[in-house]
Structure 1
Amino acid sequence: MIRALWTAASGMQSQQVNMDVIANNLANVNSSGFKKSRADFQDILYQTSKAAGTGGDGNEVPTGIQVGLGSRVAAVQKVFTTGDFQQTENELDLAIEGSGFFQVELPDGTEAYTRSGALKQDSTGRLVTSDGYPIIPEIVIPEGATAIAIDGSGTVDVLIDGESTATEVGTIELTRFANPAGLSSLGRNLYAETATTGDPQIGTPGEEGFGTLSQGFLEGSNVNIMEEMVNMIAGQRAYEVNSKAITTADEMLQMTSGLVR
């Protein structure tokens, strides 16, 4: 009977993590480039009272007796499906149509990766993220630029005041991984490379399987509110059922302790 208490408690703990993941997805429904997470569950240890195939009278028992001890969270995986595109008409907003990440440099000199293309200019004209992290390779918009054009292959052209022809100032590159689900989330729409992602592959947008860039658009979150609400209801009911199992096991224990010889 005590086993039922701990088994149901493990189910409640698993559903609590599931609700935490769903809540974070919903909280970031309007975060540019955000990728939703999904909790994966698995059963845990089993107690075997009788193994299959055993038998004392020469007969083979086709099935044994195994009782499971509950569930646990096996992984919380990022789902890198493409979010909806939102037109902003801002010349520094970029959306990646396909696979790839923008590479940025963190203050400590390490690299991070993002799908959020809401770029800005800092005081020196560099293209940076909303947190001021410069993209790699560095792109500097010269003073006096009146218009910025970024084509699908990442080429950045600017029109300088007083000139009649555009000037190319650089090319935005993309990075991709063999296993993007292995990326470590840093917050602020940033991801870091891990041992399971594979080596970063750097390339030009539109070539060798990389996505293309769309200027004046942002990739929205890939969170589906209706799907998350359904998952929330299912998780709530699973939590409720497990709590009911604990209550039932407690009542059975109470009946047992009340037996009189």
Structure 2
Amino acid sequence: MMRSLWTAASGMTGQQFNIDTISNNLSNVNTTGFKKNRADFEDLLYQTSRVAGTPATELTTVPTGVQVGHGVKVAATQKMFTQGALQNTGNVTDLAIQGDGFFRVLLIDGSYGYSRDGSFKIDSNGQLVNSNGHRLIPEVVLPENFERDSLTISQDGRITVKVAGNDDPVQVGQLELYRFVNPAGLSAIGQNNFKITNASGDAIPGRPGFDGMGQTVQRFLEMSNVSVVQEMVNMIVAQRAYELNSKAIQTSDTMLGIANSLKR
């Protein structure tokens, strides 16, 4: 059986995975805080017929070897944590991070999730929660008689409100952000959340605007960092690569047919 059949098949499988990755990016083009994925590939093992440097004579060696590859495989998928565009929403509980850092939320199982999605709401207990009811950590509890429009979150994360009957704003909380040595090592778990892994390292807490942390921007949301134009170009390239690999299989099949039809 011709080696090229299996080699080209691995190329088609790889480009199918590439299209899957691009499709996921495009489907989340309007997802708040979404970070696009990139598929990385690597070549497979090589069959070596002659090793470079093999002695040719007593005084000379072969300058190059004879190797043939066996195709491609997916090496990794990497999250690209570039800054997304900020969109003005006018909602007092919407927050965007301008720069490095993640919000921390308490998940149902008691573990922590980390997110760039700052579309927070106020629940019946006066706490800031995300769209799935996960509480923002450190917890922020607003007083019962506060004026909603007076809720102010500064760029360094200080949360102040005005209470009915008092004209002076009262600080009710302090936001913290968390960053990682290797954010690409975080595990995406859906619902715009990530979890810590051994590759990401431990979360490094900090006050917004200090020690390398980004600033919090109230009444804004960070949109997806997916570029539709770039993803469409990537899709065209992947489609053409898929077609070329399928053409290699067709050519190999034709060659096998010619060999099979040979007569004495």
Q: Do the two structures share a fold, i.e. TM-score over 0.5?
A: yes
Of 253, 257, 262, which residue of structure 2 is paired with 1:259?
Answer: 262
User: 1:175-208 CA deviation, whole Å, 9 max, x = no partner?
Assistant: 0000000000011110000001111100100110
Shift of 1:55: 3.2
User: 1:53-93 CA deviation, whole Å, 9 max, x = no partner?
Assistant: 11343331100100000011100000000000000111000
Q: Secondary structure at the match of 1:139?
A: coil
Q: What number of residue pairs does the alignment pair up?
A: 261
RMSD: 0.8
Contact 2:52–2:63 (CA under 8 A) maintained in structure 1: yes
Tell me if 1:112 matches 2:113. yes
Of 104-113 and 54-63, deviating more is 54-63
Q: 1:115 & 1:8 partners in 2: Cα distance? A: 40
After TM superposition, list the pairs within 5 Å mapping 1:40-79 onto structure 2: 40-58=40-58, 59-79=60-80
Q: 2:162 & 2:251 partners in 1: Cα distance? A: 74
Match of residue 2 from structure 2:
2
Shift of 1:144: 1.7
Shift of 1:134: 0.2
Match of residue 28 from structure 2:
28
After TM superposition, list the pairs within 5 Å mapping 1:119-134 onto structure 2: 119-134=120-135
User: 1:12-38 CA deviation, whole Å, 9 max, x = no partner?
Assistant: 000001000000000000000000000
Q: Structure 2 length normalisation: TM-score?
A: 0.97
Residue identity opposite 1:34 in structure 2: F
Q: Structure 1 length normalisation: TM-score?
A: 0.99
Tell me if 1:229 matches 2:247. no
Match of residue 248 from structure 2:
245
Match of residue 92 from structure 2:
91
Match of residue 18 from structure 2:
18
Q: Secondary structure at the match of 2:21?
A: helix
Q: 1:222 & 1:164 partners in 2: Cα distance? A: 41
Counting aligned pairs with the same residue, the percent is 54
Q: Secondary structure at the match of 1:252?
A: helix
Residue identity opposite 1:48 in structure 2: T
Q: 1:194 & 1:132 partners in 2: Cα distance? A: 24
Q: 2:103 & 2:136 partners in 1: Cα distance? A: 7
Residue identity opposite 1:25 in structure 2: N
For structure 1, list consecutive stretches of 5 or more residues without a partner in the other structure: none
Match of residue 191 from structure 1:
194
Q: Secondary structure at the match of 1:160?
A: coil
Match of residue 162 from structure 1:
165
Match of residue 37 from structure 2:
37
